[in-house]
Amino acid sequence: MDISFEYYRIFYYVAKYENITKAAMVLKSSQPNVTRIIHILEDQLDCRLFLREPRGLKLTEEGRRLYAHVAIACQHLLDAEAELRREKDICTGTIELGVTETALHLFLLRNLHDFQRTYPDIKIRIQNNATPEILKALANGRLDLAVVTTPFEIRDTMECEDLMTFREVPAGGSDYAALSDHPMTLKEFRLHSIIGLGYGTASYEYYRKVFIEQHLDYEPAMEVATADLVIPLLQNNLGVGFVPEPLATPFFENGSLVALTLNVPLPSREVKMLWDKSRSQSRAAATFCNYLRGITKCNAPSLDPENVLMSND
């Protein structure tokens, strides 16, 4: 006897709910079509499967015997489908991620924990380096993704998205408190020992351009390899320097750093996410990109309609 499994599947849901209408809703079919299939199945099996009662349908003796077997088969198949869907939904893999020190402390560290908890089967290998070196590794295919700070230049094959905007503020240790009384020119600021990242980093290039605009050379008296070394050196009164405002604020509050001011505003900087669009992204890398986009979207300030109208005046 050659009976379509689809007929048995429809029979399973009708018998399970004892209701044609509800079965049709679950099956995303029409009530007349479900009724028609049940009649065809009864004809092919040469027996009656349901009795119609005021409260709905009731299985006949033959219907109960058939349901006992069909229910087991259908449940096995439904369980198999659910298992395959779960396996498809589980995202696995390894992401090779390049990150600058500033981007790590400003943006990534506070967000990696939630990502690992949400996607425990994705492994992340973090390579920490200066922006130019990270971009070179990305171009050479040694990285899947980069999270770096501006400024930088990228190739045409690179895709770039903003993650956050931040400003850096001039700061010094407690011995430099007297300098906070009045705004300084960059020329005056330069008279003190500047502590900063060395040549070849995005930060060095950023401040070199800032100083050039004021017709000055940017020459740090003490160059450090990573951004996290700047704050301890400033706290120990070894000079003055520039610190991302979100990282500096707690130290301003506890008095271990003193906020200094300049008579020229410093341009804002960005933390950006980059990948090579000429290469296909792994599912793990794409998942991580979407996760970071979601964080950026949640953190984006909402626009006040009144302010928007005023800004257009």
CA 269 vs CA 66, 107, 203, 244: distances in Å: 70, 13, 10, 9
Q: Is the pLDDT of residue 4 over 90?
A: no
Q: Is the pLDDT of residue 146 over 50?
A: yes
DSSP 46: T
Q: What is the pLDDT of residue 280?
A: 86
Tens-place pLDDT, residues 171-193: 999 999 999 989 999 999 999 99
> Nearest-CA neighbor of 210 among 268, 255, 286?
268
Q: What is the pLDDT of residue 228?
A: 83
Domains of the chain: 5-87 (1.10.10.10), 93-163+270-298 (3.40.190.10), 168-267 (3.40.190.10)
236 touches 208 (CB < 8 A): no
Please, what is the average pLDDT of the chain? 88
> Which range is least confidently modeled, 81-85, 111-115, 143-147?
81-85
Q: Is the pLDDT of residue 147 over 90?
A: yes
Tens-place pLDDT, residues 110-122: 889 999 988 888 9
> Nearest-CA neighbor of 255 among 168, 170, 173, 167?
173
0.75 exceeded by pTM: no
Strands 122-128 and 93-99, by their bridges, are parallel
Return the percentage of the chain with pLDDT > 70, whole number: 92
Q: What is the pLDDT of residue 307?
A: 40
> Which range is least confidently modeled, 118-122, 163-167, 303-307?
303-307
Q: What is the pLDDT of residue 87?
A: 56
Q: What is the pLDDT of residue 1?
A: 62
